[in-house]
Chain A
Amino acid sequence: MADRKIQSKKRYVLAFLIGTFIFINVFFLTYSISYFEYQRISSEQQQLSYDIFKDELYYSLFDKNNCSLSSLSKISEDLRFQGSIIDELEKKLGKNNQGVLFRKKFYSLIELEHFEFIGKMNDKCKFNISTILFFYSNEDKDIKNSESVGRLLDSVYTRNNDLVIYSFDINLDDELIIGLKKEYLIIEPFTIIINKKIKVVDPKNIEEIEKYLS
């Protein structure tokens, strides 16, 4: 008959310790990568805000007759990218992470600054750049619908040139967002404002949006 005792209790303890060490460290690794990305996005956000403010000031102070918008596409893509990464960081580092919350507020500020600038350029240079303000919600019950409208807007964005989309968390505790909601009478998430005039709530089809684009 074979000896049926457990071969080595130490081996179990060692396996438990090594397994636990690897398990915890993978979470630590992914958290660290998120934190590095947060720092990178913070620094990129500074650069983006600098570019937008510089463009606007340069236009206001020295170059009122210049109607060139060569950096529109780059800034628009940067804004979209940063918005999506900040949303992801919020999921990974937590909704109440003060650093991420600040980045989100700062991001909203940059968006509004750019929104204003595009408005001025449209008025003075007779551009036809369309704008969409998208109010989403990251509350658990709203995430799925917010993501659906977001994907619809992504599709609208790739199908239409001269379009800039600005997204705002409707629940963000920020005076600018509160003011924006009052200005456009926003009371529910999944609402979009097209070219400052048209309000569409919870659009389901690209045609519901594209018919209002210039």
Chain B
Amino acid sequence: MELINYVIYASIYIGLVATTFYILSYFSGNKKEKSLYKDNELPKVSVIIPVYNEEKSIEGTLNSILTTNYSKEKFEIIVINDGSTDRTLEIAKKFESKGVKIFSKKNGGKGSALNLGIKSAKGEIIFSMDADTFVTPDSVKDMVRYFKNKKVMSVSPAMMLYKPKNILEKIQSIEYLLGLFLRKTFASLNAIYVTPGAFSAYRKSFFDRYGGYDEKNITEDLELALRIQSHDYIIENVPEAPAYTVAPNRFIHLLKQRRRWYYGLMKNLWEYRKVIGPRYGDLGMFVIPVAIVSIFFAVFVTAYMFFKTIFNIRDELVFLSNINFDFKSVLHTNFYFIERLIFLFVTNPIVIFLSLFIILSFFYLFYASKKTGKISGLIINIPLFFIFFAILFGFWWIVSIVYIMFNRKISWK
């Protein structure tokens, strides 16, 4: 057996044990009673929206957050204009009459804008919200309820994609939906180590005690989540509270986003390496180690498959030239051929394992649709995801690792 087969089987085995563990944890976590705020107990909330040249989406985002059914007396919206050079400020100012507070500053990055917002905020609970994110009227209230437990320092929503249109967006939409089950499972283990920057809630007292966002960090949301975990607090998740974000729709933009995320993940995990180990329970003993191992396998297998595909294409071209490009003879099929193909498929353990994981993915998607409502476009989006995501995932990671290895700098935008 080739080395690559050992690597693939090892990754499948770890994947099976991890998946089983997560499913067991989900059902176990589901049984636990949560302490939640009732409507009359809900604390004051501040939603901070840092904006930098968001003229296309800021209006929709503000309209969306203004539809919240949270008590108006306990709710404030703060827009921090981070030195926009387009019409963002002008559009935002139209909402001042609806109670939206607007502050302007010199461009300094998302972290610095959020920190200014935190200083100005009156709420006990702080929401960070991107200017291209949309929420449902219940999302804020459903998330804030979880802060009744004083150990809870952050609550994340069910992050989903806003109206995916092209192939890249459709692939990402499935990735986000599949993540909902895992995020809830991680919450049941208190092992969430990323809170979505697009829409998440935090207890203000945490910022007061441990400082605001790390302004130099390119994944400040990730750093904040790890900081919360490192201080032994809880990060919750509410799959019933959807938040829709706009995803990169061009390959290069998506690559830049993922490169920033994964580069940031590696840097922050190294900075907070103390959370790996038994001291941090399931997070340190299982969730983060399994994530690291999975990334290693994904990178190894993608790199191998990439080069193997290149060599296979070369071999195929040589073969086609050897048969004078007689495609008819290559495409010739009959019952024997199909029977042999079926035999090869059903006797290949990797194909069986892949089928199992695909079936499992359908359960994850069923869970997502049950929690967030009807999801459209699955018939097209699912095959696209299974065909392309693994290749893209490996590719993004390889690029990010190369950047880390050569100490290349990555900026937020």
What is the bound-complex CA distance between A8 and B16, given in angstroms?
Answer: 18
Cβ contact within 8 Å between A6 and B285:
yes
Cβ contact within 8 Å between B347 and A34:
yes
Looking at B109-117, B127-135, B273-281, B386-394, the stretch in contact with chain A turns out to be B273-281
Cβ contact within 8 Å between A6 and B353:
no
The yes or no answer to B407 lying at the interface (CB within 8 A) is no
Cβ distance A38 to chain B, nearest Cβ, rounded Å: 11
- Given A2-B190, A159-B326, A206-B324, the answer on whether A7 and B281 have CB atoms closer than 8 Å is yes
Cβ distance B131 to chain A, nearest Cβ, rounded Å: 32
Q: 1/0 contact trace for B333-346 toward A, CB 8 Å?
A: 01010011001101
- Which residue in A15, A23, A30 is a CB contact (below 8 Å) of B347? A30
Closest to B153 in A: A2
Cβ contact within 8 Å between B343 and A37:
yes
Cβ contact within 8 Å between B322 and A206:
yes
Cβ contact within 8 Å between A152 and B21:
no
Q: 1/0 contact trace for B4-27 toward A, CB 8 Å?
A: 000000001100111111001100
What is the bound-complex CA distance between A88 and B342, given in angstroms?
Answer: 12
The yes or no answer to A80 lying at the interface (CB within 8 A) is yes
Q: Which parts of A1-45 form the interface with B (CB within 8 Å)?
A: 1-8, 11-12, 14-16, 18-20, 22-23, 26-27, 29-30, 33-34, 37
- Given A7-B189, A11-B21, A16-B17, the answer on whether A204 and B28 have CB atoms closer than 8 Å is no
What is the bound-complex CA distance between A141 and B339, given in angstroms?
Answer: 28
Residues of B within 8 A of A20 (CB): 13, 17
- Given A15-B20, A88-B347, the answer on whether A155 and B232 have CB atoms closer than 8 Å is no
Residues of A within 8 A of B353 (CB): 26
- Given A22-B356, A148-B319, the answer on whether A155 and B330 have CB atoms closer than 8 Å is yes
The yes or no answer to A50 lying at the interface (CB within 8 A) is no
Cβ distance A9 to chain B, nearest Cβ, rounded Å: 10
- Which residue in B233, B281, B319 is a CB contact (below 8 Å) of A151? B319
Q: Which parts of A68-91 form the interface with B (CB within 8 Å)?
A: 77-78, 80-81, 84-85, 88
The yes or no answer to B323 lying at the interface (CB within 8 A) is yes
The yes or no answer to A196 lying at the interface (CB within 8 A) is no
Residues of B within 8 A of A18 (CB): 17, 20
What is the bound-complex CA distance between A191 and B18, given in angstroms?
Answer: 50
Closest to B232 in A: A1
The yes or no answer to A158 lying at the interface (CB within 8 A) is yes
Residues of A within 8 A of B17 (CB): 15-16, 18-20
Cβ distance B274 to chain A, nearest Cβ, rounded Å: 12
Cβ distance B314 to chain A, nearest Cβ, rounded Å: 13
What is the bound-complex CA distance between A154 and B323, given in angstroms?
Answer: 10
Q: 1/0 contact trace for B261-303 toward A, CB 8 Å?
A: 0000000000000000011111111100000000000000000
The yes or no answer to B329 lying at the interface (CB within 8 A) is yes
What is the bound-complex CA distance between A1 and B189, given in angstroms?
Answer: 15
Cβ contact within 8 Å between A4 and B28:
no
What is the bound-complex CA distance between A15 and B323, given in angstroms?
Answer: 52
Cβ contact within 8 Å between B352 and A15:
no
Closest to A5 in B: B281
Q: Which 7 A-B pairs have the closest CB atoms?
A: A19-B17, A15-B21, A19-B16, A81-B336, A15-B20, A1-B232, A4-B281
Chain A contact residues, CB within 8 Å of chain B = 1-8, 11-12, 14-16, 18-20, 22-23, 26-27, 29-30, 33-34, 37, 77-78, 80-81, 84-85, 88, 92, 148, 151-152, 154-155, 158-159, 204-207
Chain B contact residues, CB within 8 Å of chain A = 12-13, 16-21, 24-25, 28, 151, 189-190, 231-234, 278-286, 315, 319, 322-324, 326, 328-330, 332, 334, 336, 339-340, 343-344, 346-349, 352-353, 356
User: Can you list 20 pairs linking A and B with CB atoms under 8 Å apart?
Assistant: A1-B151, A2-B232, A4-B281, A7-B281, A14-B20, A14-B24, A18-B17, A19-B17, A19-B21, A22-B356, A26-B352, A30-B346, A30-B348, A33-B347, A81-B336, A81-B340, A88-B347, A152-B323, A158-B329, A206-B326
**Extra inter-chain contacts (10) besides given A12-B286, A23-B16, A152-B322, CB under 8 Å:** A1-B231, A15-B20, A15-B24, A18-B20, A19-B17, A22-B356, A30-B349, A30-B352, A37-B347, A205-B323
